[in-house]
Amino acid sequence: MRSQIKPHFIFNSLTNIQYLYNMDTAKGNEALTKFSRHLRANIEVETKEIISFKEELDNILNYVDLVNMRRSEETNFLLNCEAFDFCVPVLSLQPFVENALKYSMADEKEDGFVEISSMETDDSYIVEVVDNGVGFDASAVKSTSTGLRNATERLHMTLNAVVDIDSQIGVGTKIKIIIPKETE
């Protein structure tokens, strides 16, 4: 499942970088630097199944920068993170953010946004990826769409996490990931 996510990200990033080089060489260089930093971070953790939430968040921020460099109107990306002291599978949260940036059309709204939040309860860590974009009908998602399915399966198999996707057409999407704390 991990190998299916990585090529998807690499191809999207290379397309973004190519576009930027055609528009502005300096922006292309900046994007290439961010992309290289992201790849380097992933190579360093290649032998790990899980990484800290902070490391995953750093990778996501790199990705958001790459996407926003290509757009004429940047998507407002918000962070509301209270909890950082937990781990997630490598590249497991990024597909949720990637889909929000790609399909929500939040960048086309004056007040459009994608937000990641995290919090801690007595028995779990909760991560939410929320956008106020166009929303979607979950039953209409293509069965060949591997990003969301793989991320959900990896989170469940690795951390026994539960992923709840709530999307309303015209309102937006909220993805809630509940990661149980390990019991001694």
CA-CA-CA-CA dihedral for 153, 155, 159, 164, to nearest 10? -90
Question: What is the pLDDT at residue 6?
Answer: 62
Q: Whole-model pTM?
A: 0.83
pLDDT, one tens digit per residue, over 87-102 is 998 888 988 998 888 8
Percent of the chain at pLDDT exceeding 90:
38
Q: Which tops the pLDDT comparison, 107 or 157?
A: 157
Dist. CA 107–CA 74, nearest whole Å: 6
CB count within 10 Å of CB 15 equals 11
Find the mean pLDDT for residues 36-52: 77
Q: Which tops the pLDDT comparison, 181 or 98?
A: 181
Find the mean pLDDT for residues 162-177: 92
**Percentages of the chain per state (helix, strand, coil), in multiples of 5:** 50, 25, 25
Contact status, residue 51 vs residue 88, Cβ threshold 8 Å? yes
Q: Which tops the pLDDT comparison, 90 or 33?
A: 33
Taken in order of first residue, the domains within the chain and their CATH numbers are 2-180 (3.30.565.10)
Question: What is the pLDDT at residue 46?
Answer: 67
Confidence of residue 40 (pLDDT cuts 50, 70, 90): confident
Question: What is the pLDDT at residue 184?
Answer: 37
Question: What is the pLDDT at residue 4?
Answer: 47
Q: Is the model's pLDDT at 17 over the cut of 90? A: no
pLDDT, one tens digit per residue, over 107-155 is 788 888 999 999 999 999 999 999 998 888 777 665 556 778 888 998 9
Find the mean pLDDT for residues 51-76: 84
Closest of 68, 124, 92, 118 to residue 2, by C-alpha: 92
Question: What is the pLDDT at residue 103?
Answer: 82
Q: Is the model's pLDDT at 44 over the cut of 50? A: yes
